Amino acid sequence: MNKHKFIQALLKKLGGKFSTALGISLKDSDSEEVFKWFLASILFGTRISEKIAVNTYKEFEKRKALSLDTILKTGWDGLVQILDGGGYVRYDFKTATKLLEIMQDLREEYNGNLNQLHKEAKDPKDLEKKLKCLGKGIGEITANIFLRELREVWEKAEPYPSDLVVLACKKSGLISPAISSKKEILEELKSLWQKYKIKEKDFADFEAALLRLGKDYYRKGKAPPF
């Protein structure tokens, strides 16, 4: 395998960061932008299609409910309407309740500022723990989605690759099947990126593209043609 060409094709065909696709800029760790990505990550973290998650985020955007205060002011009924408007019908009641609990905890514990949460975290593990302690709705998947795209922004954002990223790496032959631990896989992927990095992209873009490839393997049993 020509790994350089593979990485180029991967990013060209499948795209980079989900946050960028949503018009969210995380590069300067602006609190408002980080919060927007946090909201999007919660939507992506449920067993629902990427299309519906994107449509629902756009509905929040259209209703101007992209901050902690506006979400709390919208209330449970208003959130259900937004979620239904985006097609998030299957999880609308549960997600509305979850969002309100998370926002209340974020306000009480960190003055509504996710950058403050990061600042108070001792290390990557503590950062993940603090995220998961917000309300009852932040699980392993949501925390991983959120932190994955903040690797280049928050120094303590260092989640291991998700199962779908691991699947993509193994099925495509990008890394050796002998490498088993997620820690080793992350190190190998970082090494590959340093060697074959693509201009105007970063490691989080590479990882997001691998995630999409992993989804394709999971659903279809094969990779899309490059």
- Within 10 Å of residue 32's Cβ, how many Cβ atoms? 11
Predicted pLDDT at 218: 78
DSSP string computed for 176-216: -TT--SHHHHHHHHHHHHHHHPPTT--HHHHHHHHHHHHHH
Q: From 1.10.340.30, 3.90.550.10, 1.10.1740.10, 1.10.357.10, which CATH number describes the 24-148 domain? A: 1.10.340.30
pTM of the predicted protein model: 0.93
Sign of CA dihedral 206, 212, 125, 20: positive
* Number of residues that make up the chain: 226
Per-residue pLDDT of the chain (226 residues; tens, 9 = 90+): 799 999 999 999 999 999 999 999 999 999 999 999 999 999 999 888 899 999 999 999 999 999 999 999 999 999 999 999 999 988 899 999 999 999 999 999 999 999 999 999 999 999 999 999 998 879 999 999 999 999 989 999 999 999 999 999 989 999 988 888 999 999 999 999 999 999 999 999 999 999 999 988 877 776 555 5
Which residues, 6 or more positions from 200, have their beta carbon under 8 angstroms from its beta carbon? Answer: none
Predicted pLDDT at 202: 95
Indicate where the chain has its CATH 1.10.340.30 domain(s): 24-148
Burial status of residue 73 (CB atoms within 10 A of its CB: 0-12, 13-18, 19 or more)? exposed
